[in-house]
């Protein structure tokens, strides 16, 4: 029971349900409304409230941070820094670009453990202490740098800016053709795969996926209009 509380969390996940979509305290905007989620996935929303699905999606959004910490520390333990650093950075980019495709129930629980704040802190202390005791000052320096840039999300924010045009991974309202951002794609994939796990028929899943993406794209268009008006 204590482990469940430690890794799953007991606090209610807060968010703002606005006309532009659902906004989390960390600035992640999902281009769909709670009412739309209840329409598209009523069985899933009966099992867990919208806030819990946003919690899961937020964890997958931030998975780049946790995976960045783990691959950096493990590779530095196995390889010289000249090899470990570029390989780690490459894997971080690869994971960041693949998150939405990997998001689902199978990896949700392991990710919850790997991204836990206490687990990450203990891993960082253990690996960096090991490097220090072994007299590998270079590994300590590179390990600390990669740990900090991953743990605090700086790598993720930079990659979002490069690939999404928005540091938070939200749909970019300034884009010429607004489309769903990575946050929306992650939430959509989670809902689709959890629906499949719960026995929702493929036709229903396809309909839900299509309608959700249309709602997200509509929200992106609306935000683009608001951004244009605010400039006047």
Count of structural domains, the chain:
1
Task: Please report whether residue 139 resides in a domain.
Answer: yes
Confidence (pLDDT) at 47: 85
Task: Please report whether residue 29 resides in a domain.
Answer: no
Confidence (pLDDT) at 196: 85
Q: What is the mean pLDDT of each run of 10 residues along the chain (232 residues)?
A: 39 85 91 83 86 95 97 97 97 96 92 95 97 96 97 96 86 61 89 83 57 66 60 56
Stated pTM of the model: 0.83
Decide: 171 and 178 in contact? Cβ < 8 Å. yes
Task: Please report whether residue 110 resides in a domain.
Answer: yes
Confidence (pLDDT) at 164: 84
Task: Please report whether residue 22 resides in a domain.
Answer: no
Task: Please report whether residue 24 resides in a domain.
Answer: no
Range of the domain at 114: 40-168+175-232
Task: Please report whether residue 3 resides in a domain.
Answer: no
10-34 residues labelled b (16+ CB within 10 A) or e (exposed): eeebebebeebbbbbeeebbbbbbb
Confidence (pLDDT) at 204: 54
Task: Please report whether residue 34 resides in a domain.
Answer: no
Q: Which residues pair with 17 in a beta bridge?
A: 22
Confidence (pLDDT) at 213: 66
Confidence (pLDDT) at 225: 63
Confidence (pLDDT) at 6: 38
Task: Please report whether residue 184 resides in a domain.
Answer: yes
């Amino acid at each position: 029971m204590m482990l469940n509380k430690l890794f799953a969390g007991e606090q209610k996940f807060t968010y703002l349900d606005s006309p532009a979509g659902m906004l989390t305290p960390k600035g992640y905007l999902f281009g769909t409304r709670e009412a739309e989620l209840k329409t598209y996935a009523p069985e899933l929303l009966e099992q867990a409230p919208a806030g819990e699905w946003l919690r899961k999606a937020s964890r997958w959004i931030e998975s780049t941070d946790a995976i960045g910490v783990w691959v950096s520390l493990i590779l530095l333990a196995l390889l010289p820094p000249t090899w470990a650093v570029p390989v780690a950075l490459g894997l971080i980019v690869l994971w960041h670009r693949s998150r939405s495709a990997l998001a689902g129930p199978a990896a949700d629980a392991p990710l919850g453990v790997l991204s836990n704040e206490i687990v990450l802190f203990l891993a960082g202390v253990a690996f960096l202490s090991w490097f220090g005791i072994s007299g590998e000052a270079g590994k300590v320096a590179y390990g600390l740098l990669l740990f900090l840039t991953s743990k605090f999300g700086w790598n993720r924010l930079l990659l979002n800016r490069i690939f999404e045009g928005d540091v938070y991974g939200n749909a970019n309202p300034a884009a010429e053709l607004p489309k769903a951002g990575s946050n929306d794609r992650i939430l959509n994939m989670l809902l689709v795969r959890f629906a499949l796990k719960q026995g929702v028929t493929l036709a229903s899943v396809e309909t839900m996926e299509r309608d959700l993406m249309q709602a997200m794209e509509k929200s992106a268009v609306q935000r683009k209009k608001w951004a244009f008006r605010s400039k006047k």
